[in-house]
Structure 1
Amino acid sequence: MYPPVRLIALDLDGTLLDEEKKIPDQAVQMIAKAKEKGIIVTLASARPFCSMLPYARQLQLDTPLISLSGSYVTDEREERIWLKRPMNLLKFREMVRIFEEENYYVKVYLENQLIVQQATKETVNYSRIFGVPYTVLGPKKLRTLEKAPLRIALFDDSIRIRNAQQILKTWSDDFAVIRDTDHGLEIVEPTVSKGAALKIICCGLGIPMENVMAIGNEGSDISMIREAGIGIAMGNACEELKQCADDVTKTNEECGVGYAIQKFVFKESLK
């Protein structure tokens, strides 16, 4: 028997959103029903804040949102910043110089902005689909950035990504590294995680972690799945996350979020 749920934390891509980047109607209905019961709902994503905002407004959420994998937490109007953890600028410059020299595709994130060396097709598509503005600095110019980033995403083939992981061991005290896919790495400040950000929100709201339900699907969600009283893996989640979850719900295409809320919040019979 689990404690009563007082707060629900939801990842976006691959969790709350279907493959068309939309929230299924059933999930919208179940979230509204949970809110009517007095349950707080928040979103936790690797996306920048500006890319999360349309979904928060659709769901009429007025709680702090966890963006950039836990590096930046703020309310809907960005009037109160609950957490902001940029990485060390000098260490970033040292590290990104190597990846620029090795011709990796590097995406650098500020609060609501993407910084790249050049506007590739992927950059343009990402900006259009996710609603994130981007700035082009030019080849090998990321190392000249004057503002400390909040998150970095690194993309390449699987062999070069493994090589990147080895390179990053040099800065093991300076960065936290998450490998979500065979072709990508996520890099943040060493104390940053969705789980740590979620604990800060819950502390501020006076909600014990045992009364939290968190739902996710990727490696960056593992920390909040472990911290929550009820940690739920999506049916389409990576195997590592499923292994540490309390339960596995349906996939994002089957509205696994709505199914989990129905099961653990309302204890309703499931079909």
Structure 2
Amino acid sequence: MAIKLIALDLDGTLLTSDKTITVRTKDILARAMARGVTVTIATGRMLCSALHFARLLGSRAPVVCCNGAYVGTGAEAPLFARYFDPAFVGEFLTFCYARDWYVNWYSGAEIYAPTYREDYFTAYRTTANFRVHAAGEDYLRYVDEVPQFVLRDLDQGIAHHARTVAEAFGDAVCGQQNTGTSVDITPPGTSKAVGVRALADALGLTMDEVMVAGDADNDVEMLSMGAFSVVPANGLPVAKEHASYVTASNDENGIAAAVEKFVL
């Protein structure tokens, strides 16, 4: 069947290494949308960043963000959302604060952290109006509607943090997209696949009408969910194992090439 929904990861997939979208990619995706194809973002990033890049493409579709824990536009009730219980958020933040870990978390459309450290958010430098709220010691005020935490450590790496969280919280959390210096923590049962499926269901689409694209470990469930899956040449081997098609790299218009070949 014809592709009617395209869900694109951001970092390493849609975005080039300098965190931008090429003119060619914008043009190809605009042609797809002109044909009635819904184009959206499926990312581990927060809502405002996902929406920023969706709007750059000219898409008004709901976005899949926070590794699938939130699907929506922020303007109305989400199509799908999975939040941590506020009491658990307080417990988890207290656990991190007690260890002097750098943790940021999303509450609604906002991002919070103990303090703002620019070196931890360089990937967001091309996101308009990006702002981190410094919660300081008042962090327990910001525990509602939290779909994701992110632990960061550029100096020592994140392996110790990930192990400690797994030992302390077990299956109450799900660790995703461990980059070596950061790890995303979402509610159990959360993945981009869950989010994309929720959007496809809302649009009345089956998986053979969906194209997904991603490059990393947090994309694997989405890539293997039964949709037509695209992985750029720069993708991790574990992602390529689940690809219907391996395209050119994110710096070589790989997404544009795949969409032109299989959608247009």
Verify same fold: TM over 0.5.
yes
Task: Tell me what 1:161 maps to.
Answer: 158
> What is the aligned counterpart of 2:75 among 78, 90, 96?
78
Provide the residue aligned with 1:210 in structure 2. 208
> Aligned partners of 2:120 and 2:181: how far apart in 1?
16
Q: Name the SS for the 1:107 alignment partner.
A: strand
Partner residue in 2 for 1:53: 51
**Residue in 2 that maps onto 1:263:** 261
Match of 1:178 in 2: 176
Which residue does the alignment assign to 2:235? Answer: 237
User: Match of 1:116?
Assistant: 113
Moved more, 231-240 or 170-179: 170-179
Q: Which whole-Å CA distance do the structure 2 matches of 1:16 and 1:126 have between them? A: 13
Alpha carbons of 1:215 and 1:158: their partners in 2 closer, same or farther (altered >3 Å)?
farther
Q: Distance in 2 between matches of 1:158 and 1:135?
A: 23
TM-aligned CA deviation for residue 242 of structure 1:
1.4
Alpha-carbon distance in 2 for matches of 1:128, 1:111: 21
Q: 1:96 and 2:88 equivalent?
A: no
Q: Is the 8 A contact 2:40 2:61 kept in 1?
A: yes
Aligned with 2:97: secondary structure?
Answer: helix
After TM superposition, the score normalised by the length of structure 1 is 0.87
Quick one: which amino acid aligns to residue 114 of structure 2?
Q
Aligned length: 262
Alpha-carbon distance in 1 for matches of 2:27, 2:49: 22
**In structure 2, distance between residues paired with 1:126 and 1:253:** 16
For 2:146, what is the secondary structure of its paired residue? Answer: coil
Offset at residue 207 of structure 1 (A): 0.4
Distance 1:22 1:157, change over 3 A: closer
C-alpha root-mean-square deviation of aligned residues, in Å?
A: 2.2
TM-score when scaled to structure 2?
A: 0.89
Q: Give the gaps of 5 or more residues in structure 2.
A: none
Secondary structure in structure 2 of the residue aligned to 1:41: strand
Moved more, 204-213 or 42-51: 42-51
How many angstroms apart in 1 are the aligned matches of 2:171 and 2:216?
A: 23
Q: 1:19 to 1:113 in 2, by over 3 A?
A: same
> C-alpha displacement at 1:124, in angstroms?
6.9
Give aligned-pair identity as a percent: 26
Question: Pick from 138, 141, 160: which aligns with 2:136?
Answer: 138
